[in-house]
Amino acid sequence: MVELNPFEIAQKQLDDCAEILKLDDDVREILRNPMRELHVSIPVRMDDGTTRVFKGFRVQYNDAKGPTKGGIRFHPEETIDTVRALAAWMTWKCALLDLPLGGGKGGVICNPKELSDNELEHLSRGYIDQVWQFIGPDKDIPAPDVYTTPQIMAWMMDEFSKLTGKNEFGCITGKPVTIGGSCGRDDATARGGMYTIREAAKKLGIDLSKAKVAIQGYGNAGCNAAFLCRELFDAKIVAISDSKGGIYNEDGLDLELACNTKSDTSTVVNSPRETTKKITNEELIELDVDVLITAALENVITKENAPRVKAKIVAELANGPTTPEADEILYNNGVHVIPDFLCNAGGVTVSYFEMVQNIDRYNWEVEEVYDRLDRRMTSAYRSVLDTSKAYKINMRQAAYVVAVNRVVESMKLRGWIKMK
C-alpha cells in the first residue's frame, strides 16, 4: 500500500469536509492548496570557518481570515509537504478558535543538536534574512515548533527589527516574557485541553474529581496536563508513559516523583516499584479509565486497538493520534473524542494573545490570560459539539465543518469567491 504523505492526508480530510458542506469545485481547489510558499537557501558560516547552505520553507496557506500564523520547525527530516500540511491544519485551527488569523508554517532542514549556539543563532537570523519581506505583524507571524525555542524566537525578532529599523515585538510569538512574551504561554496547550475536557465531562455527566486519567507521553504537553488535571479537577492520574514505557497505580501516581525519576533517568519507567506497576504504551491506551489523554505521537489509536479503548473521553493533545478508521470505531462505540486541532489549540490562542499585548504594549496578568483562553476554548468546544449533533457526524468532522465554513465565509465576504 502506498503511504499517504501528510499533505495528501490534509487534502483528504478537507475533501471529506467539502463533501459534507457540498462546496463548489472552485472553492475546493482554492482550499486544497497553499496560497503562497517560499523556498529559501540559507548560507551559514560554521564555527570551523566553512560555509554550509541550509534549505528552508515558509508556507502561507490561506489568509482569508487575517495574517497567517504558525510555527517554524528545525528538523533533519523536514519536507515541504509536511510544512504544507501543518500550514493547512493551522488554517483550520485558527478558524475553529475564531482567531482573526490565517494559517502558515515554516521549516528548516537541519539538525539543531549538531549545531553550536553560535551556528544556531546564525541559522535563525539567516532564515529571517531570507523571508523577512514576506512576514510581519500584518502579514505572517511565526512562532516556535519542534526544536525551536523562545531564545530562537528572540534572535529572529531581533533580526527582523534590525531589518525594518524598529522594535517589532509583534512579528513573532513564543518569545521570552522579558521581551514581549505572554504569561501563561508555557502550559497553554495543556491548559486549553483541560477546558475542553471539563466541557466534555459536563456533557457526559462525569464527575472529574472522581475520574481516573491515563496520559500517553510525559513531555511538555503531557506533564503539564497531568499537573493541571490534579490542580483544576482533583482527578486521579493512574497511568503515564514515555517512549520507554509506562507506569500505573490505580490509587493515583506521585507526579512529582515521576518527574524527578524522568529527569534523573530520562524515563518515568524507573519509578520505585513499591508504588507503581510497569505497563506498556499499548496497555495504557486500553486502560479502564474515564479520560485518556494522548500527548505523544501520531497514529497510536488504530483500527486494531480502537475496539478495546475503554475511556469515555479521548483528549488529543498530540497531533494526529487517531487514524481515520479508528475515529469511526470510537464514534460508533460512543467514545467522546476531543479532536487534536480543538484540544491542542490553547498554544496558538495564547500566541495570539501575545500578539495583541505586543500591539498594545501591555502585559496582561496571568489570570486574564487563563480567563480569555477558557472563554475561547469553551466556545470552540460548544460549536463543535453542536455541529456534531446537527450533522450527525463525529467531533473531528464537526471541527472541520466549523473551521472550513468560517474560512469560506471570509473568502465570500472578501469577494474571492461568488456569494450564493
Residue 164 near ligand NAD by CB under 6 A = no
Task: Tell me how far, at minimum, the Cβ of 247 lies from ligand NAD, in Å.
Answer: 12
What's the chain's length in residues?
A: 420
Assess contact for 308 and 230: CB atoms under 8 A: no
CA atoms within 13 A on the CB side of 247: 23
SS3 of residue 145 by DSSP: coil
Residue 317 near ligand NAD by CB under 6 A = yes
For residues 275 to 304, the per-residue mask of contacts with ligand NAD, x marking binding by CB under 6 A and - elsewhere, is ------x-------------xxx-------
Decide whether 149 or 167 has the Cβ nearer to ligand NAD.
Answer: 149
- Footprint of ligand NAD on 43-102 (CB under 6 A): none
Residue 189 near ligand NAD by CB under 6 A = yes
Decide whether 149 or 319 has the Cβ nearer to ligand NAD.
Answer: 319
* Grid cell locating 346: 490553547
Q: In Å, what is the CA distance from 402 to each residue of 85, 248, 350, 409?
A: 19, 38, 21, 11
Task: Tell me how far, at minimum, the Cβ of 97 lies from ligand NAD, in Å.
Answer: 13
Stretch that binds ligand NAD, among 13-21, 111-119, 240-248, 412-420 (CB under 6 A): 240-248
Sheet holding 212-216, edge to edge: 277-279, 245-248, 236-242, 212-216, 291-294, 313-316, 336-338
Decide whether 350 or 411 has the Cβ nearer to ligand NAD.
Answer: 350
Task: Tell me how far, at minimum, the Cβ of 342 lies from ligand NAD, in Å.
Answer: 11
Catalytic residue, candidates 65, 105, 212, 236:
105
Q: Give the integer Cα–Cα distance in Å for 333 and 273.
A: 35
Stretch that binds ligand NAD, among 108-116, 118-126, 210-218, 247-255 (CB under 6 A): 210-218
Task: Tell me how far, at minimum, the Cβ of 287 lies from ligand NAD, in Å.
Answer: 14
Decide whether 220 or 405 has the Cβ nearer to ligand NAD.
Answer: 220
Q: In Å, what is the CA distance from 304 to each residue of 10, 151, 286, 308?
A: 23, 42, 11, 8
202 is an active site residue: no
Assess contact for 399 and 92: CB atoms under 8 A: yes
Find the binder of ligand NAD among 319, 363, 378, 405 (CB under 6 A).
319
Stretch that binds ligand NAD, among 46-54, 62-70, 238-246, 350-358 (CB under 6 A): 238-246
Among 346, 362, 38, 344, CA closest to 170: 362
Which residue is nearest to ligand NAD, using beta carbons? Answer: 219
Decide whether 108 or 225 has the Cβ nearer to ligand NAD.
Answer: 225
Q: Give the integer Cα–Cα distance in Å for 32 and 11.
A: 6
Residue 344 near ligand NAD by CB under 6 A = yes
Task: Tell me how far, at minimum, the Cβ of 299 lies from ligand NAD, in Å.
Answer: 10
Assess contact for 322 and 204: CB atoms under 8 A: no
β-pair type (245-248, 102-109): unpaired
Residue with cell string 473524542: 337
Among 239, 266, 255, 344, CA closest to 298: 344
Find the binder of ligand NAD among 318, 326, 329, 411 (CB under 6 A).
318
* Grid cell locating 153: 524566537
Among 389, 381, 387, 379, CA closest to 405: 387
Residue 192 near ligand NAD by CB under 6 A = no
Residue 217 near ligand NAD by CB under 6 A = yes
How many residues form the binding site for ligand NAD (CB under 6 A)?
20
Residue 219 near ligand NAD by CB under 6 A = yes
Residue 215 near ligand NAD by CB under 6 A = no
Active centre residues (catalytic): 105
- List interacting residues with ligand NAD (CB under 6 A): 189, 216-222, 241-243, 281, 295-297, 317-319, 344, 347
